Structure 1
Amino acid sequence: MTQWTKAELARRKDGGSESMRAIEKDILPVLGEVALVDLKRAMVVDVLDKVVERGARVMANHLFSDLRQFFNYAVARDWVEAHPLAGLTKEKIGGREKARERYLSEEEIIELKQRLPAANLLHTTELAIWIMLSTCCRVGELSQSRWEHLDLDQGSWFIPGSNTKNAKDHNVFLSDFAKAQFLALKTLTGDSAWCLPARDDQGHVCLKSITKQIKDRVRDEPLSNRTKATGALLLSGGAWTPHDLRRTGATMMGELGVIGEVIERCLNHVEQNKLKRIYQRHELKAEQRDAWRRLGDRLALLLAAEGQENVVVGRFAKRA
């Protein structure tokens, strides 16, 4: 497995660290001493079934994908004669993974503001929530951001490809609302190179920190040695994650009249149509700037609307 790790996993964006963490946790303790040629399908599937039994279906599917790639690598080098997972699909392991559709209604955004004081979050995390919502960025992109990549005078945020999911550079035009959140954050962490520094300031905050803080506050039962503010951020529409904020921002843009192509650019999605990707190079920067402005203005209005009757708050309809 070491050779496969160096040849294949090392080429992944995270160097394969997440995959190896899961393999070391669930696979190696059970099968690590079994010779490769002695591995049978039932042995591997049994381990994956136990991951499913503890409720980690998505993790089981990720492990299945990694193991299938490993055995393809092994078969190609004659380490084994047959692929023990040949013919199996994710549907037969963890089941088909449904795309999340959760987003926050405008009422829930106001509710979120009302609930935050009791959640006992780090103030930097509170600001991160509003930044993610108003910029539609991913939590990892914000967690790894540096102050040198922000121009708060011009209202722009450069996210290098090394921090994005698709390895493509991304420019965010900051609305007045988003800029205000970053300015508030800078008063707290401006002495660091990182917008969200680790406690020792030797790097950025852990990529899972914000997600864990929020998850702890939307779960039903508290975990030992974790916050007692269980349920403090559980909204009327149910549990939510940082990535749902990105979906919420994009949905709001659509409700505010922004066309789909512009929203896709704001999300830094790659055009799926190859011909369009090759020949349509117009970046729609002005349209993106306007989209973020509309989103920021609406959020500012909503968060100032508490107790006011002259602001109409509506639930978003699901888009086809």
Structure 2
Amino acid sequence: MRLTDISLKTLQPPVKGQVTYADDTLPGFGVRVSQGGVKSFVVVHGRNRKRTTIGRYPTISLQDARKAAKQILAERTLGKHEAPPIDFEAGLKLFLAAHFPENYPKPRTRAETKRQLEKHFLPSLRHEKLEHIQAREISRIIDKMHKTPGEARHAFAVIRLFFNWAFRRGYVDRSPCERLQAPKQSLPRDRVLTQDEIRTVLGHARERDTTFNSIVQLLLLTGQRRGEIASLQADWIDFDSRTITLPATVTKNKRQHAFPFGEMAEVILKRALLQAQQSREERREYEDADEKALLLFPARGKHTAFDGWSKGKPNFDKGCPIDHWTLHDLRRTCATNLAALGVPVHVTEKLLNHISGTTSGIVAVYQRHAYMDEMRDAIERWELHLRSQ
């Protein structure tokens, strides 16, 4: 039959099931009428006679449906096949396996990419087909991170990488990220805690013996990065020389970093080590605790480094009433105060394992002086200053 607006209105629903009425003017095109009277435009195409639903009548007009059917048939003829249906969760697993094989040389990059995708995108896109995900859905997720612009930029870079991979694999015809702009780069933070704020943070951290509180104190006492302190293992610490040696696998610049610690830090480290040893002995009583490296600050119930930042910091702030600050501000506070105490900038940079003009390039290659004595003197000055607060 020739489908017209008049004939569409007169089509009666079947007693049961569905019936399809083919359009004589366009092979493969027709309308399917259900038992409930719902009329949907369809087009059948390909060697396997695949049926694609275009939309319901009268939401979609006959003219628009016929035009869409012609487009689908034309793309099939030209070899533009539909992307294979795959949801976001399945695509994520394939992406991680294909883009980051077992021998991938940067495991931390893989872990961070996986974390970003699973934390920000998986919850809302889990069952969405990749070809149906729109730019506005990506924007909505990114916009929710406006308070953490750095995280937003990283999340956008990761989701763009994911959809570029999906496009190359043929799972999508185009990336929903291609017309989106990356979030603006945040201005560098310059927050340095005042002396009153330092006293408040340290005082609150000392009130309770928790993993997070211990890490906060060590961040301020040593000036190291939070991931480095959270990853501390017993065999990295030499209590005889009061030195910690971080392997290249955990440092930001991928270089081994040895630095001294003072008496205040020693108390915290020894207490954390004792608790870690006791916890291992308790596990051995009811399970086969292996001899993996002993973490000073393990995540709860896991043999991985502490990662409870999203809960730990807000809980800490409830009892620490100062203006907004981040854990990284403690590193900046340490460096700023060392300068105020007369520590040369190159010694501070060496202590913080920070590469800049004074300790990079040809200087870093040929400079063999470790500055351990100078760093130890800086730490002693810093702890003496903190004790006087």
Answer whether contact 2:242 2:262 (CA < 8 A) is retained: yes
Give 2:196's match in structure 1, choosing from 84, 107, 114. Answer: 107
Answer whether contact 1:160 1:169 (CA < 8 A) is retained: yes
Matches within 5 A, 1:238-257: 238-257=323-342
Could you tell me which amino acid in structure 2 is paired with residue 137 of structure 1?
Answer: Q
| Inter-CA distance 215–281: structure 2 relative to 1 (3 Å threshold) | farther
User: Cα distance, 1:142 vs. partner?
Assistant: 1.7
Q: Which moved more, 1:175-184 or 1:273-282?
A: 273-282
| Inter-CA distance 181–22: structure 2 relative to 1 (3 Å threshold) | closer
In 1, the alpha carbon distance for the partners of 2:145 and 2:361 equals 40
User: Cα distance, 1:108 vs. partner?
Assistant: 2.5
Task: Say how many residue pairs are matched.
Answer: 281
In 1, the alpha carbon distance for the partners of 2:357 and 2:180 equals 28
- Structure 1 stretches of 5 or more lacking a match? 219-229, 307-320
| Inter-CA distance 85–278: structure 2 relative to 1 (3 Å threshold) | farther
Q: CA RMSD in A?
A: 3.4
2:249 partner SS: helix
Give 2:308's match in structure 1, choosing from 204, 208, 227. Answer: 208
Give 1:70's match in structure 2, choosing from 155, 162, 165. Answer: 162
Deviation per CA, 1:179-222: give whole Å up to 9, x if none.
3432344444454522224555x62552225x63343131xxxx
| Inter-CA distance 217–128: structure 2 relative to 1 (3 Å threshold) | closer
Give 1:7's match in structure 2, choosing from 98, 101, 113. Answer: 98
| Inter-CA distance 73–137: structure 2 relative to 1 (3 Å threshold) | same
In 2, the alpha carbon distance for the partners of 1:20 and 1:124 equals 25
Among all aligned residue pairs of Structure 1 and Structure 2, give the percentage whose two residues are the same amino acid. 23
Answer whether contact 1:143 1:204 (CA < 8 A) is retained: no
Identify the structure with bigger relative contact order (alpha carbons < 8 Å, sequence gap 6+): 1
| Inter-CA distance 264–298: structure 2 relative to 1 (3 Å threshold) | closer
2:235 partner SS: helix
- Structure 2 stretches of 5 or more lacking a match? 1-90, 281-293
Give 1:295's match in structure 2, choosing from 379, 382, 388. Answer: 379
Could you tell me which amino acid in structure 2 is paired with residue 216 of structure 1?
Answer: N
* 1:309 equivalent in structure 2: none
Answer whether contact 1:176 1:293 (CA < 8 A) is retained: no
User: Cα distance, 1:263 vs. partner?
Assistant: 2.3
Is residue 2:355 matched to residue 1:262? no
In 1, the alpha carbon distance for the partners of 2:209 and 2:352 equals 26
In 1, the alpha carbon distance for the partners of 2:160 and 2:359 equals 29
| Alignment TM-score, normalising by the size of structure 2 | 0.61
| Inter-CA distance 293–176: structure 2 relative to 1 (3 Å threshold) | farther
In 2, the alpha carbon distance for the partners of 1:273 and 1:73 equals 40
* 1:60 equivalent in structure 2: 152
User: Cα distance, 1:26 vs. partner?
Assistant: 4.4
User: Cα distance, 1:153 vs. partner?
Assistant: 0.5
